[in-house]
Structures are given as structure tokens and as C-alpha cells.
Amino acid sequence: MSPYPIRMRSGRARRNRQGSVVEVVPVAPSGRSREDRVRFSSQLSLALLVLVAVLASVGIPWWAGLAGAVALVGFVSVEQARAARTGVLALPRGDDSFVLLAAEERVAYGRALTVARRVRLTWPALRHMIDAEQADRDLTAALRDLAAIMARRQQIRRLRDELGVASRHDLPADSPAVQALAEQRLRVEGLWRSTADAANRILASINAAALAGEDLLREQRIGRTARDAELAISRLTAAAAAPADSGPELAERTAAVIAAYRELAADR
């Protein structure tokens, strides 16, 4: 994690922006050999030469079309060569940039990014309740602090492993070297537990923010459903009451019409 744009030493990368956080993931090489790339460039050059000839026949200067064709072939060739290389990130420099190499820390940080995406998904619906810019700064700061802790933990992990290997000896327990080693192991274990507690606090706060936003959205959806149901029930109630009054009235009017018709028929 770095506050500066991360560039590639070779290959290509896929960038996914979430607010002010941009995830950079190297893309797998295309696997196209040099012969395949040269063959494609040759075919493209031939097609562009035909196009240049057609454009020249309709009055467009041939040198303009040829310059565009050369530029396009060069661009495609460079991009194909770049795509064929293995993606390698240029590691950022500085105390405010962190590189996670250990699989355990990378997995934990990846889970934090997943929860952070859930938090960001709730912001559009809560735009009238929160300041999205301030929330983005707070979330970015939490992810930066978590990256710093994870970077420390992978260093502590390596030191724990080294001390664990060194503790396998046949020296007596009262040896000064053995006692010094045991003391350092205790200090390392204390650092290990403290960084775990700090990381869990940050993860818990991010997860709590996600759950709070999602619960509020569910509550709003349920409230809208209840209001819509109330309106629909009111309409159905009014519609159901109308036939009860109009049915007898229709029968009375029909009977009156029939009685009048019979009276007219009797007079004739």
C-alpha cells in the first residue's frame, strides 16, 4: 500500500479504484511468443498499407496515412511485447509505503479490502446522512494503519521463526545465552499479541461500519415495503367496499326499469 501511484517494472496491471484507494494487481502474461507477435504486426502492416492506398486514391495525402499506419503498428507492437512479459510491480519507497509479502498478512489485508468495499457500497444511499469525503479519508486512514501493522507482523513472524529455530539446542537452561534467547522470545511474543490486538480492533471497526450501514439500508427497505403495503391495503379495502354498495343499487334500478316497462306494456 502506497500513497503514491504504483508503476510497473514490466508487464501490465489491472487497477481497481475504490474511492481514494486504488488496487493494483499484475495481469498474467499473454503467452504470445515473439514469432506470433511479429506475424500479427506483419498482417496488420499489410492491411494498413492497403488502407493507405485506398485513402490516397480518394485524395488523402499518402504520407499522412503512412505516418498514422507506422504509429499504430509501433504502438501495437509495444503493447503486445509488454503484455507478453510477466507483471512486476515497482516497489514503492518511503516510510509511508508498505509491502506485504507473507501470505497470511496478504490474506488478512485482502479481507479488510473486501469489507471496505461493502462500506463504500452503502455510501450512495446514505449520502444525506454522512460526509462521503470525510468517511473516505477515515476509511483510507484505517486501511493505511492496518497495512503498517501487517508489515510489522510479517517482520515479527520472520523473527519468531528465527528464534524458534535457535531455541532447538542442547545447552543447559541456566546458560546465559539460553536465558537471553528466552527473554527475547517473550518480547517477540508480546509484540505478536499486541499487533494482533491492534489489527483486530481495526478490522472490527471496519466490519462494524459495514454492518451498521447495511442494517440501516435493510431497515429503510423494510420501512418502504411496509409503507407500500399500507397504501396497497388501503386501496384494496376501498375497492372491496364499493361493490357492496353498488350491487343493491344496481338491482333496485333494474327492477324499477322492468316495472316501468311492464306498466307501458299493460297500457297498450
User: What would the pLDDT profile of 101-127 be if each residue is shown by its tens digit?
Assistant: 888 888 888 888 888 888 888 888 877
Nearest alpha carbon to residue 64 among 54, 73, 56:
56
Of the candidates 143, 145, 146, 140, which has an alpha carbon nearest to the alpha carbon of residue 19? 140
63: enclosing H helix or E strand: helix 62-84
Q: Rounded to two decimals, what is the model's pTM?
A: 0.64
Please state, in angstroms and rounded to a whole number, the distance separating the CA atoms of residues 184 and 190: 10
Give the model confidence (pLDDT) of 234-254 as tens digits.
888 877 655 555 556 656 766
CB 101 within 8 A of CB 146: no
Q: pLDDT by residue (tens digit) across 152-166?
A: 898 888 888 888 777
pLDDT given at position 248: 63
Q: Which residue in this structure is represented by grid cell 447495511? A: 214
Residues 6 or more apart whose CB falls under 8 angstroms from that of 51 comprise 65, 69
